[in-house]
Amino acid sequence: MIASTSSLTPALLRQLIAAAVAAPSVHNTQPWLFRIDDDVIHLYGDASRQLQAQDPDGRALLMSCGAALLNLRLAAEHFGHTSTTTIFPNADDPLHVAVIDLHGQASSTGMVDELFAAIPHRHTNRLPYEDRPVPPAVLEALAEAASQEGAIFYPVTDAAERRRLVDLIHDADATTDPEVMAEARKWTGVDDSRPDGVPADALGPIPQSPSTPHRDLAPGRVISGRGFAVFESDPTLAVLTTGRDDRASWVAAGQAIQRVLLVATVEGLVATYANQPLEAPGLRWLVRDPDQPISFPQMLFRIGYAPAAPATPRRPVEDVIIEA
């Protein structure tokens, strides 16, 4: 039950949280909880949904919460409410990720409405992409989106640098920890009756060429109906980094990736990720292009044009709201 003492109606609060939970999350773990307190929404990380083997520091969990927070902020603004966000408001509770105060009224701008409208159309797309370059002006718009949330986004345009990155992706594939693999089995290629996890039909095909920079979320597993395909020969790769590498930066990175993805959706682009070298402690720092300013890699994207990918499920809004 949603509390009704707020000047925001229960239906509107529900819409804001529904927008938030449409965000991407690592392995679709949906590691978030919300508490409503009049016109204030509290966002918490859900430690019971943290990937303990793959994500021991909770970086991916906090990026997932950050992505949900960006959606919530956009939805609030779209419906005419300003949102004042405080990150980690309670030093004694590291899972209290943000407080979003919705007291003010504001009229939304055209871009906010466009990004809000893009929320249900953004899906991680693991299909082969068209052999068609992303125009530099569009890549600049993605970089601008990341910078609005305090992050850096750069496409990897230099051929030698791209080869180096692709090698890192393959090195990470070759060194995956058995515990990480066992944990991933619980969340990927799952039965589509589940309200979370990555269902088999969202895994996409397996690239025919082993040199494709890709992340197979179910490596070595036989999944009925899953075949091989030829992927684009020259994928557009991009890296998102932050100036620091603390918990607040991970929440900022999550907001930045979601703003980047929504701008990409508006531009008719799709995206997926090949984050495996970012999860390998010995490889993560090598992802940064040495010619870029010193910063901390948070996300490695493959971006392009492709047919629509299937949506993944979400838990019902009621299941992510905790009582005050």
Ligand X SMILES: Cc1cc2nc3c(=O)[nH]c(=O)nc-3n(C[C@H](O)[C@H](O)[C@H](O)COP(=O)(O)O)c2cc1C
The residue among 52 and 84 lying less far from ligand X, judged by its C-beta, is 52
- Contact between 50 and ligand X (CB under 6 A)? no
Judged by CB under 6 A, which of 12, 18, 21, 27 binds ligand X? 27
Judged by CB under 6 A, which of 97, 100, 180, 217 binds ligand X? 217
Looking at residues 68 to 127 of the shown chain, list those that interact with ligand X (rule: CB under 6 A).
Answer: 123-124, 126
The residue among 8 and 261 lying less far from ligand X, judged by its C-beta, is 261
- Contact between 269 and ligand X (CB under 6 A)? no
State in angstroms the smallest separation of the CB of 289 from ligand X.
19
**Residue 47 CB neighbours (<10 A):** 13
The residue among 41 and 270 lying less far from ligand X, judged by its C-beta, is 270
Report the half-sphere exposure of 209 (CA within 13 A, side-chain side). 11
Judged by CB under 6 A, which of 8, 198, 263, 271 binds ligand X? 198
125: its two tokens = 């797309």
Judged by CB under 6 A, which of 275, 280, 297, 321 binds ligand X? 275
- Contact between 272 and ligand X (CB under 6 A)? yes
Q: Which amino acid is at 92?
A: D
Judged by CB under 6 A, which of 51, 60, 145, 151 binds ligand X? 60
Residue nearest to ligand X (CB): 24
DSSP bridge partners of 299: 240
Q: Which amino acid is at 165?
A: L
Q: What is 116-140 written as a DSSP string? A: HHHGGG--B--SPPPS-PPPHHHHH
Question: In whole angstroms, what is the distance from residue 114 CA to residue 208 CA?
Answer: 37
Question: In whole angstroms, what is the distance from residue 235 CA to residue 305 CA?
Answer: 10
- Contact between 241 and ligand X (CB under 6 A)? no
Question: In whole angstroms, what is the distance from residue 123 CA to residue 24 CA?
Answer: 8
Q: What is 160-213 written as a DSSP string? A: HHHHHHHHHHHHHHHT--HHHHHHHHTTEEE-TTSSSSEEGGGS-PEESSTTS-
State in angstroms the smallest separation of the CB of 110 from ligand X.
25
- Contact between 28 and ligand X (CB under 6 A)? yes
Q: Most distant CA pair in the chain: distance in Å?
A: 59
Judged by CB under 6 A, which of 39, 273, 292, 305 binds ligand X? 273
State in angstroms the smallest separation of the CB of 234 from ligand X.
20
- State the residues that interact with ligand X by CB under 6 A: 24-28, 60, 63-64, 67, 123-124, 126, 198, 215, 217, 272-275, 312
